[in-house]
Structure 1
Amino acid sequence: MNIGEFAAVNGRLLGSIATRTIDLPQLGLRKVESANDRAPLYEILALNVGNRWVQIGALWEAVAKHTTGEVFLQGTIDDPSLSEPLPIALFGAEQEGFRVAWRRPQPRDAFAPVSRANGARGDGHGSGDGFGDSTAGADGALAETRADLEDEIPFA
């Protein structure tokens, strides 16, 4: 769902975002100059009630997972005045302008496998499914105990 747009105006990227409960009529995108690969491409700025520009978000480059390989911008707008962060994606280009789409975050599957380095818990124990090895034998009785579970940990 498109909820806004940005266009080049006098050398600046200016725009707005509006939903049923959010109205951000004066927004700007400021290019981030950084050598860090993890730095965002743009900061999202909003004009506050004191008529000052304040940062309310950032955008990073992303590539569509489907076969098109389309490059777009994604990020989040967040401010103490909002009840929750607003995830967004921008499609288009700096010269032609951007369309702003709202992104619904995908809920995390609580039963999905836990991804760990080397597929294990990281401590040398466990099968990589996030739950570790069972201490129960085939008959349900305690098969073995791990010494590290029985070690006392002193209070500091």
Structure 2
Amino acid sequence: MNIGQFKSANGQLIGSIATATIDLARLGLRPVESDNERAPAYEIVTLNVARRWVQIGALWELTSNSTGEVFYQGKLDDPSLSEPLQITLFGNNDEGFRVVWNRPQPRRENMDGTRQTRRKANDDGFGTGNATDNGQLADADEMPAF
């Protein structure tokens, strides 16, 4: 499900994310400069009530195994949120990024600690989302019909 966007404005990536309960109207992506290969590519920052930029998340650069497309994945977290919001960004600096949200599947374990095989989830009437299992945006012909 698309919940926001980021676009380049005066050399900075500025955007917003909105859901039924979250309205982050002014977000920024601040590049992280690090020699550590595990460091995120971007910090996600927002203006707080005192109009100061504060970090509320981070994004790591990933590459699709099937297409080679580069995308960014991470999460937003703040004490005001009941749980972290996991997001994925698709696009590029020139054309902008769309923000996609997908609910992670719970991990299931057997009593002995081994991992269960995944079972098909019950249909809740809301469909399956618009991201594939590897986090990419599904093509229009792959989208479920409602």
Same fold by TM-score greater than 0.5:
yes
**1:88-136 superposed Cα distances (whole Å, 9 cap, x missing partner):** 000001121100000211211213746xxxxxxxxxxxxxxxxxxxxxx
RMSD over aligned Cα atoms: 1.4
Gap regions ≥5 residues in structure 1: 115-156
Query: Shift of the alpha carbon at 1:62?
Result: 1.6
Partner of 1:41: 41
Shift of 1:61: 1.0
Q: Which consecutive residues of structure 2, in runs of 5 or more, have no partner in the other structure?
A: 116-146
Aligned residues: 113
Structure with bigger gyration radius: 1
Paired with 2:9 and 2:68, the residues of 1 have a C-alpha distance of 29
Partner of 2:101: 102
TM-superposed deviation, 1:34: 0.2
TM-score normalised by L of structure 1: 0.69
User: Residue 58 of structure 1 aligns to which amino acid in structure 2?
Assistant: A
Q: Paired residue for 2:52? A: 52
One-letter code aligned to 1:62 = L
Question: Offset of 1:72 from its aligned partner?
Answer: 0.6
Distance 2:84 2:4 in 1: 16
Listed as ranges, the matches of 1:111-122 within 5 Å are: 111=110, 113=114
1:9 aligns with 2:39: no
What residue is the counterpart of 2:23 in the other structure? 23
TM-superposed deviation, 1:47: 0.5
**1:70, 1:106 → 2: CA distance?**
23
Note the alpha carbon deviations across 1:71-93, whole angstroms, 9 max, x for none. 21000000001111000000001
Q: CA deviation at 1:58?
A: 0.1
Shift of 1:53: 0.3
Letter in 1 for 2:60: W
TM-score between both structures, scaled by the size of structure 2:
0.73
Larger relative contact order (C-alpha < 8 A, sep ≥ 6)?
A: 2
Match of 2:20, SS state, is coil
Paired position in structure 2 for 1:147: none
